[in-house]
């Protein structure tokens, strides 16, 4: 009562509808498996579905053939529909969605039965789903993929990051420390038994180490 009344200029100006407006039902045909749940749960029995089975050949030699349902007809009689949304809720494969489209009046009630071609056209008027709550937990699949991508990007962006496959990198495979055929290290030369050492006081060719007494 405290606001000035404004006349809606429809149809010249389209009204601003709420995001969850129940206008018509759009069909995403690729997701439909002809499970018939929507038709069975509809309280008005206004959904008509026809299908047939076809055989799919085996994917590998010796495998078994399988059969699948192929959708022939999907129609909704909007002269009977009560817009309860049960069909959308029970669909296990997200094939039905609410569309805010509301301009589908007909002069003949029989024309309110719309086939799958019209339902598919309405599918492209379905608004995008609302964003998740800012405090909601991130899905595990997205969190795992994001962490893996961040870890890979950080490893590639780090300057001078060693390559694990580089022999010259620290921690990489190095042949200098590989024992030779005699079982001694190729880099170790501190032997206490030098064959030419004369520190033992005996012949330089004896190679016997000097025995030291206890300290």
pLDDT single digits (tens) 8-65 = 888 888 888 887 889 999 999 999 999 999 999 999 999 999 999 998 888 888 888 8
Q: List the one residue out of 57, 87, 74, 169 whose CA is nearest residue 114.
A: 74
CATH class of 24-56+64-123: alpha beta
Ranges of beta strands (E only) in the chain are 24-27, 47-56, 66-77, 96-99, 113-114
Report yes or no: 88 and 98 within 8 Å, Cβ to Cβ: yes
Q: What is the mean pLDDT of the chain?
A: 78
pLDDT higher for 39 or 190? 39
| Residue 137 pLDDT greater than 60, yes or no | yes
Q: List the one residue out of 215, 209, 173 whose CA is nearest residue 192.
A: 209
CB atoms within 10 A of CB 135: 5
Distance CA 179, CA 11 (A): 89
Domain locations in the chain as residue ranges = 24-56+64-123
């Amino acid at each position: 009562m405290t606001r000035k009344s404004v006349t809606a200029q429809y149809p010249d100006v389209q009204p601003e509808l709420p995001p969850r407006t129940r206008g018509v039902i759009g069909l995403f045909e690729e997701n439909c498996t002809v499970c018939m749940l929507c038709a069975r749960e509809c309280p008005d029995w206004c959904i008509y579905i026809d299908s047939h089975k076809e055989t799919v050949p085996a994917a590998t030699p010796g495998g078994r053939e399988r059969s699948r349902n192929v959708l022939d007809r999907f129609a909704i009689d909007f002269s009977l529909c009560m817009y309860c949304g049960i069909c959308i809720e029970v669909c296990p494969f997200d094939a039905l969605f609410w569309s805010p489209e509301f301009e589908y009046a007909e002069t003949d009630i029989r024309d309110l039965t719309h086939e799958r071609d019209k339902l598919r056209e309405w599918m492209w008027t379905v608004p995008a789903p609302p964003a998740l709550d800012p405090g909601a937990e991130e899905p595990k699949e997205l969190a795992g993929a994001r962490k893996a991508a961040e870890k890979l990007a950080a490893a590639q962006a780090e300057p001078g990051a060693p390559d694990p496959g580089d022999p010259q990198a620290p921690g990489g495979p190095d042949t200098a420390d590989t024992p030779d055929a005699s079982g001694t290290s190729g880099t170790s030369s501190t032997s206490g038994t030098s064959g030419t050492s004369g520190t033992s006081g005996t012949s330089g060719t004896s190679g016997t180490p000097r025995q030291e007494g206890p300290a």
